[in-house]
Structure 1
């Protein structure tokens, strides 16, 4: 029986998807909470924009990106669900430790630990979804899973802002970190790996072995579509992660919001725009990609092209009500790429190598996008401060919008390559 047929018949797949979504929500709560807490952390620990950029970017992304590859290879060869469960416990614990930080290096090291923990969560989850859902439904399933990004980011901003305003920023880290630890046994109880297929009695031919990390990397290296997708996503993520981290600070500095007001404004944008964008991307990709696989890349490219001028209009606006609408639309467009691109990467290798392929994609996307984008916007803001003063962060974001043009171009090139690089199941 084909893997697709087995996936369609599995009654447990929706429970698995729901629990993976819950874990991913906590992944992004723990990741995004730092952005809304940036202002009180900077005031308490006397940190510059550049240092905050390091905390939100390199300190997290360095080990998050690199450790994801061996952890994904381990998940492919052992148990994907166990790797995710242990990772959830690790990153939640380190998130709680962020609340004990007394200086830059304390919180920097704690964020390194969060990155190590989260390294084992995403790629094995992509692979589990690939195991449970057939190809024609996979972009939609991955989009539902990717709702963890806007929901987790939105909740992190809303919860972090409220707790920091009513208690302090340290309590916010304690609350979300310890809650994540409590989820671990529930996840492990409900989520298990798909049983590996057995050799049929009337067909004793041995099953193919799981490709090694080196073999999977070699396969991907020969496919142009992988490089276009990876660098296109990474370029867009530099801007996406940068805006997601620094927009609360922009709202406080340039729009006059207090901490709670900024968290409500940005949280609503993330939840409303993000949820619509993620779901639309998956549904459109499964519909259009069935006709032409190039649309798995072209759809995100169009979204990036349309999103840049809308973001520019929001950044330069002086009225917060107008800015809300202008930020809401491109926020939806910014999330469209997740379902199509993640699904396409799953189809560049054989099913047994999905975790490893996803991790290699995330290595490029996160090391460049997450590691570079947040720091680059913060450092550019510091550089522009003598010219623009308190408006330096606004202009830093504005100049960075050129990254969406480059991302759109790379996705345009990825489309034709996908047609020949696609691996059918």
Structure 2
């Protein structure tokens, strides 16, 4: 086996700076996206919303615009400047996050959440492509996993900081503070991050070429299996990220700040370990057998479902934390392997568009359905289970992890055939 330095080229120092700023922007992406989850209880008390209405605000209100605008903005990034599109997106979603703190009713908050979704639609797919263009193939899984640390860090910090600001000041102040912080980051990001030169001979897809770009990836069976498998996992993951703080407050009697610290520690420790482990294992095992890009998430989800169920069924908070730590790592392990695999289903110039197609499916199902489904089930079960209706609703949706695992095992059978090799040179 070749072991010289040329076989595993190290990224330039500036590449690591770019990755760091992309990670920071992604942290704000998820912080602003999910801060609503930790603030549900004070918002519910202040504005008198039902669980179903809160589910609409955390799910469809965001996911509708976020999902539908993802592909057009990814296409724009492929044709113009990926860093430029990300900068504009960061400024937009941060501004609308700040405006959420001024809402006085359901429809006003709904419209502001649409604005957050519109902004964040331009952030993720171009970032995936920028990471893939900046780092060599041998290190791409780890680089994408480091970038994906923005998910647990953003979720964790959102829970901790959001609950502290809301408890100390108000839920409105929490929205404004997070939004202003993102607005400050936007010009710094624009000044530092530049697109690397595109590979020789590659051309960005045009609006007309989009008609050929999507069918190219849509013809690949592994794309659909990975997309729907990840979507079902996200349905549960986004739903739990939205509602676990409320479960801790209602079923376990925790304060808002206590629930934020409890949930935030799980996400920061477990989630960060899971994301990085997924990228490291994807690079290490995927280089030997590409089926591991699908096997890793499938195995993780099979373990996640029963462990999460056990954690939600016990009443001792110390035991709850211990039981939920491992599934909070495993349920997010898929980000490194699957996002890396999607990048390799198309040629380099079409990566952002391919990622946008994947994210369209993932977010319409995961974000659009997950939080709303748990909230709706909770409202239906309230007469039978009282304050525990939300906990029972969360337990019910864990079955989707098992279906997701089955789809990824099926994807492993075709992923090698669908893989697109890196161009020489």
Q: Which TM bucket (shorter chain)? A: over 0.9
Give the Cα–Cα distance (whole angstroms) in 2 for the partners of residues 409 and 197 of structure 1: 36
Residue 48 in structure 1 maps to residue 50 in structure 2? yes
User: 2:98 corresponds to which residue?
Assistant: 96
Q: Residue 203 of structure 2 is aligned with which of 199, 209, 216?
A: 209
2:344·2:421 contact (CA, 8 Å) conserved in 1? yes
Identify unmatched segments of 5+ residues in structure 2: 1-5
Residues 25-36 of structure 1: matches in 2 within 5 Å?
Answer: 25-36=27-38
Give, in angstroms, the shift of residue 195 of structure 1: 1.7
Residue 314 in structure 1 maps to residue 316 in structure 2? no
User: 2:289 corresponds to which residue?
Assistant: 292
Query: Secondary structure of the equivalent of 2:245?
Result: helix
2:59·2:371 contact (CA, 8 Å) conserved in 1? yes
Query: Secondary structure of the equivalent of 1:246?
Result: helix
Give the Cα–Cα distance (whole angstroms) in 1 for the partners of residues 310 and 11 of structure 2: 48
Give, in angstroms, the shift of residue 6 of structure 1: 12
User: 2:255 corresponds to which residue?
Assistant: 258
Query: Secondary structure of the equivalent of 1:12?
Result: helix
Give the Cα–Cα distance (whole angstroms) in 1 for the partners of residues 44 and 81 of structure 2: 40
Residue 402 in structure 1 maps to residue 404 in structure 2? no
2:74·2:122 contact (CA, 8 Å) conserved in 1? yes
Residue 413 in structure 1 maps to residue 407 in structure 2? no
Give the Cα–Cα distance (whole angstroms) in 1 for the partners of residues 155 and 232 of structure 2: 20
User: 1:57 corresponds to which residue?
Assistant: 59
Residues 128-167 of structure 1: matches in 2 within 5 Å?
Answer: 128-167=130-169
Deviations 1:282-330 (A, max 9, x none): 0011111111101101100000000100000011111000000111110
Give, in angstroms, the shift of residue 387 of structure 1: 1.4
1:238·1:373 contact (CA, 8 Å) conserved in 2? yes
1:59·1:108 contact (CA, 8 Å) conserved in 2? yes
Give, in angstroms, the shift of residue 382 of structure 1: 0.6
User: 1:202 corresponds to which residue?
Assistant: none
Query: Secondary structure of the equivalent of 2:102?
Result: coil
Query: Secondary structure of the equivalent of 2:88?
Result: helix
2:295·2:409 contact (CA, 8 Å) conserved in 1? yes
Give the Cα–Cα distance (whole angstroms) in 2 for the partners of residues 357 and 267 of structure 1: 32
Give the Cα–Cα distance (whole angstroms) in 2 for the partners of residues 153 and 146 of structure 1: 12
User: 1:204 corresponds to which residue?
Assistant: none
Query: Secondary structure of the equivalent of 2:197?
Result: coil
Give, in angstroms, the shift of residue 8 of structure 1: 4.6
Give the Cα–Cα distance (whole angstroms) in 2 for the partners of residues 231 and 312 of structure 1: 22
User: 1:359 corresponds to which residue?
Assistant: 356
Give the Cα–Cα distance (whole angstroms) in 2 for the partners of residues 275 and 68 of structure 1: 25
1:154·1:271 contact (CA, 8 Å) conserved in 2? yes
Give, in angstroms, the shift of residue 11 of structure 1: 3.5
Identify unmatched segments of 5+ residues in structure 1: 199-206
1:8·1:132 contact (CA, 8 Å) conserved in 2? no
Give, in angstroms, the shift of residue 7 of structure 1: 7.8
2:86·2:127 contact (CA, 8 Å) conserved in 1? yes
2:8·2:138 contact (CA, 8 Å) conserved in 1? no
2:90·2:123 contact (CA, 8 Å) conserved in 1? yes
Deviations 1:244-275 (A, max 9, x none): 10000000000110001000100000000001
1:7·1:133 contact (CA, 8 Å) conserved in 2? no
Give, in angstroms, the shift of residue 216 of structure 1: 1.4
2:11·2:135 contact (CA, 8 Å) conserved in 1? no
Q: Residue 14 of structure 2 is aligned with which of 9, 12, 15?
A: 12
1:91·1:116 contact (CA, 8 Å) conserved in 2? yes
Q: Residue 369 of structure 1 is aligned with which of 366, 369, 373?
A: 366
Give the Cα–Cα distance (whole angstroms) in 1 for the partners of residues 415 and 137 of structure 2: 15
Give, in angstroms, the shift of residue 209 of structure 1: 2.7
Give the Cα–Cα distance (whole angstroms) in 2 for the partners of residues 374 and 122 of structure 1: 20
1:7·1:132 contact (CA, 8 Å) conserved in 2? no
Give, in angstroms, the shift of residue 375 of structure 1: 0.3
Deviations 1:26-63 (A, max 9, x none): 00110111011000001111100000000000000000
Give, in angstroms, the shift of residue 196 of structure 1: 2.9
Deviations 1:66-119 (A, max 9, x none): 101000000000000000000000000000000000000110000000000000
Change over 3 Å in CA distance of 1:417–1:378 after alignment to 2: same
Residues 300-339 of structure 1: matches in 2 within 5 Å?
Answer: 300-339=297-336
Give the Cα–Cα distance (whole angstroms) in 1 for the partners of residues 386 and 8 of structure 2: 60
Give the Cα–Cα distance (whole angstroms) in 1 for the partners of residues 69 and 403 of structure 2: 28
1:7·1:131 contact (CA, 8 Å) conserved in 2? no
TM norm structure 2: 0.96
